[in-house]
């Protein structure tokens, strides 16, 4: 019993620290000593019908990261995120599954998204969206 009493304060401290980490993981993971959170591109997840809709249609599950040319561009991308997401859904839904299965199709889709994104936020590749990365890309037929 005495042994459990000695462990109890330590265990309590460990559980408290673990709870804080679970409740606020970003605050601990992105702190670089200065107390400021690192500003980086935020992934956007999409699930979009592609080509023929309805029974037998294809669904694209994708995660996209829009990389800003500089920290200001990254902040601008975040500010325009709803409009960018809407436009990306429109672009993806206009594609065909056959086109998206090829490497060329994925590259072309990335370029369309890049051009449309810079048009929405009023920038160019040099001072706006520098690159489009697909970090998750699954075409699925039911």
Nearest-angstrom CA–CA distance, 68 and 127: 8
Nearest-angstrom CA–CA distance, 88 and 93: 9
pLDDT band at 1 (very low <50, low <70, confident <90, very high): very low
Nearest-angstrom CA–CA distance, 91 and 82: 14
Query: Within a 10 A sphere around the Cβ of 120, how many other Cβ atoms?
Result: 18
* φ, ψ at 118 (rounded to 5°): -65, -35
pLDDT band at 8 (very low <50, low <70, confident <90, very high): low
Nearest-angstrom CA–CA distance, 71 and 41: 9
User: How much of the chain exceeds pLDDT 70, in percent?
Assistant: 70
Domains in the chain with CATH codes: 1-38 (no CATH), 44-140 (3.30.479)
- pTM higher than 0.75 for the full model? no
Tens-place pLDDT, residues 62-83: 999 999 999 999 999 999 999 9
């Amino acid at each position: 019993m005495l042994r459990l009493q000695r462990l109890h304060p330590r265990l309590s401290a460990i559980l408290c620290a673990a709870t804080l980490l679970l409740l606020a993981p970003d605050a601990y993971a992105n702190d670089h000593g200065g107390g400021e959170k690192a500003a980086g591109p935020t992934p956007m997840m999409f699930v979009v019908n592609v080509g023929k809709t309805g029974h037998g249609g294809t669904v694209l599950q994708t995660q996209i990261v829009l990389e800003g040319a500089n920290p200001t561009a990254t902040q601008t991308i975040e500010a325009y995120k709803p409009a960018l997401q809407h436009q990306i859904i429109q672009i993806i839904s206009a594609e065909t599954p056959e086109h998206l299965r090829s490497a060329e199709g994925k590259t072309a889709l990335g370029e369309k998204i890049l051009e449309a994104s810079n048009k929405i936020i009023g920038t160019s590749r040099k001072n706006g969206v520098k690159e489009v990365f697909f970090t998750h890309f699954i075409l699925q037929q039911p």
